[in-house]
Chains A and B, each alone.
Chain A
């Protein structure tokens, strides 16, 4: 077995040293009646060569950005990933290290997290952030929990534009606590509506998504005023992190917690995970923040170094009184995102966001002028928008697939009231020609 170094001679020598005669005797603590008296019923061991071929074959049964033109986003976004990321992240010193409990020999991981924290603060416009969460959905749920702790209130108002999966995860996370969750209406233009009717003095937080699930850019300022008037916190969740490079930082206009999904920053779509959630807040709420934090300090010789800090908030110290049960963060994915943000930098990230906006505007203009297609919402958008079809959405999507196009998300299960509608995402991967083909393929289904 190539992963296990023991020879039979080694085993004998070790058993002698331990003072037992057989491997079986080592398991004396496991009562005989509990021993499995048969081999596990699993496929036999396979060679690296044949297993590689098997996995290759399985992978080829999945569509990917390599096999199709890709316009499906909805929280997982197809962006170009610079080569340097995989090279750097593949270094064993990063992949095969664990949580930096021993800071003297974990400065690489710790410093990278400190850099991540700095960049997430910059992007969100907030003062403190943690060392990442599992994903955008659980980060949003943790934000709701945090708001309930901070305000000692139990009502959570979800805006209509929060990603349905995020909303589901919020409901699941809060299901064991006596929380009340209400959802707002959606306005004609795709943005939140009727918020003022739902926020009251028992509301812990209002959760808005920016841009929202339908791709629309919310008027955060007005929503924040409504929430704050009742002493509720405002959580802004961001499923497409690249939008932060273009849109006003939510923290700068009053959001109390900004969280979301940073997969767009150089993390492979990878069938939905592992991705990397983020969560930022104000300094005054720091003690209620869940998850790991890295702080700067000095060593005994006065040199700068980094450590995990404020761990008295966490489960391994505080146990049932911890701010969360979260243990791991998304170290390697956080590292991908950090490297990505360094490569793109101050100028590149903004240019890329503007490029996404331009592609989307082009696609929207093509939709507007094409018979059989229309835009469902008039609110401004970033790189995602809802197309309404005169024809059947499922049929149009299937026809596009035959032409090698994954055209978007059929919204029938998410918003049946929209009729035949699909959510379309155009990133820098979409060429003008591919957008033209997309529009033609969808319009081909017009009645």
Chain B
């Protein structure tokens, strides 16, 4: 008699395609053979996960055709099964999988389109957060300001691509001009994706603004974000950029150094 833990592990493996005699011996067929009974569950797992991935990646599915998509995600589900029960959380690593999947490796823009769709999915389901009251940033010492980390809205993410993935995405929405042509050589984009109210929105940012915001999103302090922005564009205006960030309601918290006046700073 296997332990429950062993049984669950064996059933999970069997569902992903590696059925063996031991697990079949534990299954009551109830009118079907144990293998056929297991097949009912396997079919359900694959059709549910395929539907979930298609819902998260509709543009990728459209670009490669639903039949190819079903084939690719069948391989993906076997290689990277879900780690948790929530369907909307499944599929984060699909872009990397597609980038390395030989049958579509020549579609170089495809993984970045998938990354954009994942960012949209992530933004849609991110928790809510209230914008920071900007007056709380008053009275910082020079060291305190440089080491200030601004926490951005949980729905916000930043995505850079060599390809115009925003245009690819728009051209593949329901109701888009069917004769519209996207020039893949039109140049890359730097996108900010976030939720605004109940809608997910994205827009392209100038190089310096993108560098500034994505450095903050990665947890960098103001000094680091300023360095990144100055490296990206010499005309960078910190006051203006900071002000736009606050006006966009994207800052939801700050971790100022403990000593606001910098008097007892050990670093």
Partners in one complex: no
